Each structure stands twice: as structure tokens, then as C-alpha cells.
Amino acid sequence: MHTLRFLTLLLLVAIPITPIQSASGTRRDVSGVPTILILGDSLTDGFGLSRAQAYPALITQKLRTAGYKFEVINAGVSGDTTGGGLRRIPKYLTQRIDVLVLALGINDAFRAVPIEQMRANLQAIIDRTRAKNPNVAIVIAGMQLPLFGADSYVRSFGEMFGELAEKNHAALIPYLLEGVGGDPSLNLPDRIHPNTAGQRILAENVWRELEPLVQKASATPTARVK
């Protein structure tokens, strides 16, 4: 119980919600440019690091290196939940979204939010995004709760992401923290949030599923750097 409270306090650190920004944290005019929105929590926000060190900014670097002209929006807010993401998504839907990376849920689990409520919130985010952007590609970032045993809640939580991906014909990152979770050398002293090396691995985990979608979308003339 004490461990759960400790993790909850660390993961639920709240920061103010900011205007729409690029992955590096600077405000950008993204009109006419294919856009990748990464909606997440502290893992996406880059808790304890600069925005330039968080995986969304590293994804931007990969896109540029590969010659793709996409804008990446880091919509990560430390401490955010699926409910918070649902409340925030409307402000991002004032522009075209070509790819939505949905990386929320772990803070709900630490608050023991019912699985079906999480599922409903994530589905509503997808539905609202598709209502405005019918051709949007969806990537769902899965999470796991290995520290808390193998009870039904833990199993249902882990399975929920794959089920949502299948239902919505979305790409699935099986475990966002694959290769990072539990490794002290890849995390900050809290042993929860990735350090710069850990964020680089997160970027690889995301890129593995994101790149095929980018390749498909790159058929659009504005998606290639000239």
C-alpha cells in the first residue's frame, strides 16, 4: 500500500496545461503540415527532463532524418489520466490530425479507476478525433502493472490496450516502457520516469509502430521535405 501511494504521488505530479506546442515545446503554426498528436502523461511530457529530451521531440528528429515533413505535438501532461485526456482533446481538434498516438492510462490504474471507465474514456478520445478527422491513423501505447501482482485488475488493464487497438483497427505498442521499465540505469532516481537514455528507447518503441503509418501518409505531397 505504501509503495502504491509513493508511486501515485510521483506519477500524479500535475503541471499547468499549455497552449498547443511542437514536440520541442515551442509554439508553431502547423497549418497545412501533416500532424502527429501524442496525447499522454508524464512519460510523454518528459517528466524531470526538457521537452527536447522527451520521446516526441526524438520522434521529430527521426522524421526529419528520414525526410518526412510532419509536425509532432507533444500533448503530454504529467499526472494526466484518460479522463483528463478526454477533457483536453477538443482543443487539439481545431486543426487537422493525421496520426493520434494515445499514451494514457497508467495514472488511472494507480487511482484504481475501473477498467471499463478507462476503456470508455479512451474510446471517446478516439471517436471524437475520428469525427473531426475521418482518416486519422491511431496508435495505442500499451502499459503494464507488473509490480502489483497478477490479479484480475492487472490482467484486464494490460489486455485493454490490445482490445482497443483491435476494435479500432489501430496500431499497438504492446508496452511503451519495453526495455526501460525496472532498469535503474534508464530511469531517473525515482526509478519510474525515464532518463534521457530511457526516453531514446521509448522513441524507438513508438517509432517501430509509427513509421509504417508515416510512410503511408507520406504519399501526401506536403509530407515530404523538399
Summarised one tens digit per residue, pLDDT across range 126-148 is 999 999 999 999 999 999 997 55
- Mean pLDDT score of the chain: 88
Would you give the end-to-end CA distance of the chain in angstroms? 55
C-alpha cell of residue 203: 522513441
C-alpha cell at 115: 477498467
Across the range 93-104, mean pLDDT stands at 98
From the list 41, 45, 80, 193, the catalytic residue is: 193
Report pLDDT for 146.
72
The active-site residue, picked from 42, 98, 108, 218, is 42
The answer to whether domain 2-10+21-223 has CATH 1.10.3720.10 is no
Known catalytic membership, residue 193: yes
Place of cell 488493464: 157
Is residue 42 among the annotated active site residues? yes
Backbone phi, then psi, for 102, in 5-degree steps? -105, 110
Which one from 50, 127, 151, 190 is the annotated catalytic residue? 190
Summarised one tens digit per residue, pLDDT across range 149-181 is: 558 999 999 999 999 999 999 999 999 999 999
